[in-house]
Amino acid sequence: MQHQSRILVAGYRGLVGSAIVRRLRAEGFENLILRSHGECDLENQGAVFKLFLQEKPEFVFMAAAKVGGILANSSYPVDFIRSNLMVQNNIIDASHFSGVQKLLFLGSSCIYPKLAPQPIKEEYLLTGDLEPTNEWYAIAKIAGIKMCQAYRAQYGLNAISLMPTNLYGPGDNFDLNASHVLPALLRKFHEAKCSGAHEVVMWGSGTPRREFLHVDDLADACIHLMQVYDSPEIVNVGTGEDITIHELAEQVKEVVGFKGQIIQDTTKPDGTPRKLLDVSRLHQLGWRHRITLVEGIRSTYQWFLENQATVRA
């Protein structure tokens, strides 16, 4: 991938896509193909093929996806499986038929079995039952991985698949009905602080353990692996470190400056008990994360404060 290469970032306005665009531009890649949903509906096969045939991208970052937390996944299973399948099928098909040199597909750590041994190695995929609260999204992403591998096996498409852990950062979704845990906590504690509330209610027991990766670190990993990795096996992308949800809440509470109590609503689901990725393969490929969790929480909260008028909430 050269500085003059034609690079398509699908989903460039989202959390991951916008971070990849920032990183590409910082690295001197300016020949970027960026289309909003209004300009190209990625669920529309005809529109996607037209885009690829007109713009002829050489490299594709597949960052477009419908994502959300436990509530959103549980409430809209059709949306999560249908939308993701349609978008990724269209992008992968068009990449093959238009002669794309390389495609990077982004999956998710939620594709792994609910009770997978910890830390989770790439080879644990499809060795057990999925977590029921996000199985629709997970099944779509697993299908995307397998489609990339199938196109490579049958037609030689150079497609690689990365499995990021839980992401957060600037441009995140702070809608309490659709967001993931870290941005939801930031918003909850911020609103409680502003309203003078004495407590914040959290879903679940607070005991599940999660790993968190700043989206700017993910973008850096994506560009690194686009340059150095060319094999069909999936690659975990994370920090190799995790904390409990309650410990995360305490860190967010401190960053925001909320002085009240944290109340656990144990009638709500916890999700997967633990989800820590084995990042040995990633480290062997020459990449490690740089942004610490507390540093990332601070910068994300600062971004939230500066962008409240336009933030997804």
Supply the residues annotated as catalytic: 137
User: How many residues in total does the chain contain?
Assistant: 313
106 is an annotated ligand-binding site residue? yes
203 is an annotated ligand-binding site residue? yes
Distance in angstroms (rounded) separating the CA atoms of residues 274 and 261: 25
133 is an annotated ligand-binding site residue? no
- Nearest of 251, 69, 270, 292 to residue 174 by alpha carbon: 69
31 is an annotated ligand-binding site residue? no
User: Quick one: tokens of 102?
Assistant: 């390389």
16 is an annotated ligand-binding site residue? yes
165 is an annotated ligand-binding site residue? yes
User: Quick one: tokens of 218?
Assistant: 């993910």
Distance in angstroms (rounded) separating the CA atoms of residues 59 and 51: 14
134 is an annotated ligand-binding site residue? no
From the number of C-beta atoms within 10 Å of its C-beta (0-12, 13-18, 19+), residue 139 rates as middle
248 is an annotated ligand-binding site residue? no
167 is an annotated ligand-binding site residue? yes
Cα of first residue to Cα of last residue in the chain, in angstroms, is 36
195 is an annotated ligand-binding site residue? no
169 is an annotated ligand-binding site residue? no
The beta-strand segments (E) located in the chain are 7-10, 32-33, 59-62, 102-106, 159-164, 166-168, 199-203, 209-210, 212-214, 235-237, 243-244, 261-265, 274-275
Tell me the binding residues for substrate.
188, 203, 210, 270
Tell me the binding residues for NADP(+).
11-17, 106-109, 141, 164-167, 180
Tell me the binding residues.
11-17, 106-109, 141, 164-167, 180, 188, 203, 210, 270
